């Protein structure tokens, strides 16, 4: 578990900043204690009941979970940043410092270019955290880590599966995981995070733990989708992917006492329905 990772598979969960919404979106006309609810109601009306998800610009991260992965695609460990405090400024700082400390491993996400990375960049802006290596302003544009097509710095699985936005991917990570027999969304989904966080404003420790447990499972799903995508692009033989999935399942089993949410993940586990006689056949 001490090996230096070549990839950081990550996911983020966030909640709305009530004071910012009150001041900016409502120009102070709605008090902070009512701002989130009123904004969500407004969004529901605007989308005909489709979504009340508040834009990331009005949110702060409360969970970033990272799966450390070797250059041979083996899962080394999964960590929740700034556990158990889950302080937004520390989460942001430790994410960017960790990326630099590990010598800039490739980030791996599902739609991270559309949400996770902008969120973490804006959090760095908010909290005064310099990230010059990420911006690499003096490098050639195509070499900068932020460049959308620079997959050495960031592999967005959503971008690969949609040909960089040329196609829709209805179902998201949940669908991609289920195609592989993995749990996908279980008892919680992203749109529920805000309500869970707001459920007990006097003591949010249990809510933050629940949110981070959910994020851990999303990272596992993302990791399995990453393995299949590496197979798809010719970087990983199908038989080796099969071996890594089994090895990871054994690792998850070994962690259930420390992280009970992994027991739930295994209860929903399914194996990929292999149409070939052996994983090596194709």
Q: What is the pLDDT along the chain (282 residues), one digit of tens a residue?
A: 446 899 999 999 999 999 999 999 999 999 999 999 999 999 999 999 999 999 999 999 999 999 999 999 999 999 999 999 999 999 999 999 999 999 999 999 999 999 999 999 999 999 999 999 999 999 999 999 999 999 999 999 999 999 999 998 999 999 999 999 999 988 777 778 999 999 888 889 999 999 999 999 999 999 999 999 999 999 999 999 999 999 999 999 999 999 999 999 999 999 998 888 776 665
Distance CA 88, CA 164 (A): 30
Q: So what's the pLDDT on residue 3?
A: 63
What number of other Cβ atoms are within 10 A of residue 226's Cβ? 24
Q: How many CA atoms lie within 13 A of 233 on its CB side?
A: 12
Judge whether 59 and 17 are in contact, CB under 8 Å.
Answer: yes
List, in order, residues 6 or more apart from 178 with CB less than 8 Å away.
Answer: 171, 184
What number of other Cβ atoms are within 10 A of residue 76's Cβ? 16
Q: So what's the pLDDT on residue 259?
A: 96
Q: By C-alpha distance, which of 106, 97, 267, 269 is closest to 180?
A: 269
Q: So what's the pLDDT on residue 1?
A: 41
Can you list the positions of beta strands (E) in 70-225?
A: 75-80, 106-109, 154-156
- pTM exceeds 0.75, yes or no: yes
Would you tell me the crossing angle of helices 238-254 and 205-232 to the nearest 10 degrees?
A: 160
Q: By C-alpha distance, which of 111, 122, 124 is closest to 58?
A: 122
What secondary structure letter does DSSP report for 242?
H
Q: So what's the pLDDT on residue 170?
A: 92
Can you list the positions of beta strands (E) in the chain?
A: 7-16, 59-69, 75-80, 106-109, 154-156
């Amino acid at each position: 578990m001490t090996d230096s990772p070549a990839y950081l598979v990550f996911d983020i969960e966030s909640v709305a900043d009530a004071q910012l919404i009150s001041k900016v979106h409502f120009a102070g006309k709605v008090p902070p204690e009512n701002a989130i609810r009123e904004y969500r109601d407004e969004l529901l009306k605007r989308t005909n009941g489709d979504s009340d998800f508040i834009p990331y610009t009005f949110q702060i991260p409360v969970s970033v979970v990272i799966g450390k992965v070797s250059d041979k695609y083996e899962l080394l460990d999964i960590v929740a940043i700034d556990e158990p405090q889950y302080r937004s400024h520390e989460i942001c700082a430790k994410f960017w410092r960790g990326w630099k400390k590990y010598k800039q491993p490739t980030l791996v996400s599902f739609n991270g270019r559309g949400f996770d990375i902008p969120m973490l960049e804006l959090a760095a802006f908010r909290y005064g955290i310099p990230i010059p290596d990420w911006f690499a302003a003096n490098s050639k544009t195509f070499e900068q880590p932020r460049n959308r097509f620079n997959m050495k710095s960031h592999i967005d699985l959503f971008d690969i599966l949609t040909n960089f936005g040329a196609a829709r991917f209805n179902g998201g990570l949940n669908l991609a995981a289920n195609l592989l027999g993995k749990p996908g969304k279980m008892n919680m989904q992203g749109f529920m995070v805000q309500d869970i966080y707001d459920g007990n404003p006097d003591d949010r420790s249990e809510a933050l733990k629940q949110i981070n447990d959910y994020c851990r499972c999303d990272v596992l799903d993302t990791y399995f989708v990453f393995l299949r995508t590496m197979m798809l692009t010719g970087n990983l033989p199908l038989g080796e992917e099969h071996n890594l999935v089994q090895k990871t399942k054994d690792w998850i089993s070994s962690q259930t006492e420390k992280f009970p949410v992994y027991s739930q993940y295994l209860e929903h586990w399914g194996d990929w329905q292999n149409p070939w006689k052996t994983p090596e056949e194709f």
